[in-house]
A and B are shown apart, each in its own frame.
Chain A
Amino acid sequence: MESPVISVRGLTVSYGDQRVLDGVNLDVQRGEVMVLLGGSGSGKSTMLRHIIGLERPDSGTVLVQGVDINRCTARELKAVRRGMGVAFQEGALFSSMSVEENIELPLRELTTLADPVIEIMTFIKLASVGLSEAGKLLPQELSGGMKKRAAVARATALDPEILIFDEPSAGLDPIVAAELDELILFLKRAFQMTIVIVTHEMTSAFRIADRLAMLYHGSLIAVEDKASFQASTDPRIRQFLDRIPQHIAESESVQRRLREFAGVTGA
Chain B
Amino acid sequence: MSVLEAIGSSVIDRLAYVGSLTTQFCSALSAFPRLAPFVGRRGRWRSAMKQMSAIGVDALPMVAIVAACGGSILAIQSASELSQFGAMQLVVDIVVIAFTRELGPLLTAIVVSGRSGSAISAEIGTMVVTEEIDALRTMAVDPIELVLAPKFLAAMIVVPCLTVVSNLCGILAGAAFMYFKIKMTLPIYLRYVANAMVLRDVFTGLVKSLVFATIIVHVGCMEGIRVKGGPEAVGRSATSAVVKSTLLVIFADLFITAIFYMASAK
Contacts and interface: CB of A to CB of B under 8 A. Distances in A.
A88 B135 contact: yes
A90 interface: yes
A108 B138 contact: no
B138 A84 contact: yes
Interface stretch (B79-87, B94-102, B139-147, B160-168): B139-147
Contacts of A86: 135, 138-139
B140 A92 contact: no
A82 interface: yes
B19 interface: no
A94 interface: yes
Interface residues of B, number: 16
A116 to B, nearest CB: 14
B264 to A, nearest CB: 45
B137 interface: yes
A86 B137 CA distance: 10
Given A86-B135, A92-B134, A95-B132, 5 more contacts: A52-B138, A54-B137, A86-B139, A92-B131, A94-B127
Q: Among B126, B135, B137, B141, which residue has the most Cβ atoms of chain A within 10 A?
A: B135
A27 B130 CA distance: 29
A92 B132 contact: yes
B74 to A, nearest CB: 41
Contacts of A81: 137-140
Nearest to A115: B42
B43 interface: yes
Interface of A: 49, 52-54, 77-78, 81-82, 84, 86, 88-90, 92-95, 105-106, 108-110, 154
Contacts of A154: 135
Nearest to B137: A54
Contact of A88 (B43, B126, B127, B131): B131
Contacts of A110: 139-141
The 7 closest A-B pairs by CB, nearest first: A81-B140, A92-B131, A92-B135, A86-B138, A78-B140, A88-B131, A109-B141
Contacts of B43: 108
17 contacts: A54-B134, A54-B138, A77-B140, A78-B140, A81-B139, A86-B135, A86-B138, A86-B139, A88-B131, A92-B130, A92-B135, A94-B127, A95-B130, A95-B132, A106-B141, A108-B42, A109-B139
Given A108-B42, A108-B43, A109-B146, A94 B140 contact: no
